[in-house]
Structure formats: C-alpha cells, structure tokens
Amino acid sequence: MIAAPPLAEILRTETSLYEQLFVLLDEEEHALIAGRTASVAECVTRKENLVLEIRLAEIARQTALVRLARERAADLDDDPELAEARARLREVLPRVLNLNRRVAGLLDRSLARLHATLEVLQESVGPGRRYRADGAVVGSLPTTVDGKV
C-alpha cells in the first residue's frame, strides 16, 4: 500500500498551484489590456488545466483531513510545518481571488463594449440586407419555390 502524502506537502502543492494561477491571471490581465486575443485564448486553456489540477489537490487535501481527523485530530495544531503551509496558502488565496476579479471585470467591460459596438453597427446599417448570427436575412420575405410562397 502506498502511503498518502502528509497534509503539509499537499498544502504546499496546492499553494504552488495557486501561485501559478496568480502568475497566469496576471499574464491574462496584461494580454487583455494589450488586446492580444491569441494570448488570452492561450491563457484560458492553460488556466482550465491548472484549475483541474487545483481541484485534484483540493480533493487530496479534503481526503487527508478526514483521514487525519480520525487518526490524530489533536496533533494537527502542533505541527509547525503544517501551520506554515496553511499560513502560506491563506496568504496566496486572497491575492488570487483579487486578481481573478480584476480579470473578470476586464472581460465584462470588453464584452459590454463589443455589444455596444454591435448595436451601433446594426443601427447604422441603412436599407439593404442584414444577416442574423445564424446566417438568415433579417426582415426578408420567405423564399419562393416553383413560384409559390
């Protein structure tokens, strides 16, 4: 039977993943501000993979906590290595959440500007054919087949 990693090691791993996410969010923020859409798309893909790794680390942490709670709940507060890992994770998480909110705000503002631009373009189009997103002509009469509507 393979021994499970100690909780402090799991917390260090999870903290490292969150630090990587922080760096990636910072990169995504700069790419959004600079308008580098290819970089943003790459960041999103990397971020999705990283979030999956974080989720696996969270599951490992929860499993280790349940196991340790059964075995030796009183010893958890006395472990300095565990206390340090826990403190480091608590320090990283608010930074990641704050930067994630900033990136979400940038994305929301970008989408709002795109929608506003689309409205302006749609209103400025004069008479003639206009198309919906599905490719159908807006406001057109039904097509005829064999001279019948």
CATH code of the domain in which 43 resides: 1.20.58
Q: Is residue 60 part of a domain?
A: yes
Q: Is residue 102 part of a domain?
A: yes
CA angle, residues 100, 30, 39, in degrees to nearest 5:
95
Q: Is residue 41 part of a domain?
A: yes
Q: Is residue 146 part of a domain?
A: no
Residue-by-residue DSSP string for 61-105: HHHHHHHHHHHHGGGGGG-HHHHHHHHHHHHHHHHHHHHHHHHHH
The pLDDT confidence band at residue 17, using thresholds 50, 70 and 90, is: very high
User: For 62-78, how does the pLDDT look when each residue is reduced to its tens digit (9 = 90+)?
Assistant: 988 888 777 765 566 66
Per the prediction, the chain carries an average pLDDT of: 83
Structurally, the chain folds into a number of domains equal to 1
Domain residue limits at 34: 7-123
pLDDT above 70 as % of the chain:
79
Estimate the crossing angle of helix 7-34 against helix 37-72, to 10 degrees. 160
Q: Is residue 108 part of a domain?
A: yes
